[in-house]
Structure 1
Amino acid sequence: MATDKKPADTSAPLLIKRYASRRLYNTETSDYVTLEDIAGFIREGRDVQIVDLKSGDDLTRQYLLQIIAEHESRGENVLPLGVLTDLVRSYTTDIQSVVPQFLAQSFDMLRQGQEQMMQNFGTQIPGFEALQAQQEAFIKAMTGGMASGMGQNWSGPSAEPEETKEDLSEIKKQLADLQDKLSKMK
């Protein structure tokens, strides 16, 4: 239902208000939006904040998780069953406090690997920006914003010198080690 109106300031989070009727209202364009519209804003790189109009409670995390759940239920499986199981377990164990940091670091390493791949190929991969936006939304949903400062504002290949293939192998090894440590903490 979102209109084609362009927001004036895309650096500030887009404020969405939830009315008692559970309808979501875009304060910049003065129209009602759906979860899919909100997912679209996020894919475009826009931060959103969803608040309850009456109580003022921040509902952003709840709605981001709902967007992820809807995509997963439609067969757009990004999260392996084992990861979902480990996430559920992490809510009832002592490792709950390290999970957000682990996820943030894992996605940071994934972004670094993607950057290296982009530098090696020297070309744009179709759908790369959408994948990047989905990853950032996932990180925000899973870490509750604790990932800030951990590479979350990655904006594509940088002008840094190319890393070697050994560096990419090292990143892959570190990610595997982190996943192994998390599995052993069960």
Structure 2
Amino acid sequence: MNNATAAQAPEPQRIIKKYPNRRLYDTVTSSYITLSEVKTLVMKHEPFEVLDVKTGENITRSILLQIILEAEASGSPMFTAPVLESLIRFYGNAMQGMLGGYLEKNIQSVIDVQTRFAEQSKGFTPEMWTQYLSLQPPVLQAMMGGSLEQSKTMLAQMQEQMQKQTGQLLGAFGIKSSP
């Protein structure tokens, strides 16, 4: 295999093993790592999976939630208590699946805006940054406008679907819903 072929070969999925003593073992570096180092892998977009050594179960989500918990507990949290309470109320709710998709699409929209902004601002001079900062709210609103419209549309669709489901449920019991 030549160097060009080696450079094109996809990176294998990194496996991190979690032992019963709560330690994480990185099979690529053959060393124990911390949650902070797992967070670094996430920040670098390095693919990985965390497996429980005892059961073989994929516990990646659990480890990612631990990282979020640590981030929320230290410094400035991203979520307020009322937002977290609302999220908890959605578990087991008929809307749980739709909310997950809604949040995922909106977070992806923010990431897309951030990526576009980073690409467009690569050649900014100090003068251009000064001018940009003076215009920030209108620029940000324009950049986010599309994703906000998507959010409104998706919420309207969710509301419409809930109304249909409620009408069907009530109809099954012989109750007519009011429009």
Q: TM-score range by the shorter chain?
A: 0.5 to 0.7
Cα distance in structure 2, aligned partners of 1:74 and 1:99:
26
Question: Aligned letter for 1:84?
Answer: L
Q: Deviations over 1:122-151 (max 9, x none)?
A: 458xxxxxxxxxxxxxxxxxxxxxxxxxxx
Q: Which residue of 2 aligns with 1:55?
A: 55
Matched position secondary structure for 1:169: helix
CA contact (8 A) 1:116 1:168 kept: no
Cα distance in structure 2, aligned partners of 1:75 and 1:29:
30
Structure 1 residue ranges without an equivalent (≥5): 1-8, 125-164
Matched position secondary structure for 2:54: coil
Q: How do 1:1-186 residues align onto structure 2 when only pairs under 5 Å count?
A: 11-123=11-123, 168-175=144-151, 178=154
Larger radius of gyration between Structure 1 and Structure 2: 2
Q: Deviations over 1:73-105 (max 9, x none)?
A: 012312344432221111031101112211111
Aligned identity (percent) is 26
CA contact (8 A) 2:98 2:158 kept: no
Matched position secondary structure for 1:98: helix
Question: Aligned letter for 2:44?
Answer: E
Q: Deviations over 1:11-60 (max 9, x none)?
A: 33221111122211111111101111111111111122111112101111
Q: Which segments of structure 1 move beyond 4 Å, counting only runs of 4 or more?
A: 165-168, 176-183
Number of residue-to-residue matches in the alignment: 137
Query: What is the RMSD of the two structures over their aligned residues, measured on CA atoms?
Result: 3.0
Question: Aligned letter for 2:105?
Answer: Q
Question: Aligned letter for 1:170?
Answer: G
Greater RCO, CA 8 A, separation 6+: 1
**TM-score, with structure 2 as normaliser:** 0.64
With over 3 angstroms needed to count, the CA separation of the structure-2 counterparts of 1:75 and 1:10, relative to structure 1, is farther
Matched position secondary structure for 1:16: strand
Structure 2 residue ranges without an equivalent (≥5): 1-8, 125-140, 163-179
- Greater Cα offset, 53-62 or 65-74: 53-62
**TM-score, with structure 1 as normaliser:** 0.62
TM-aligned CA deviation for residue 121 of structure 1: 3.1
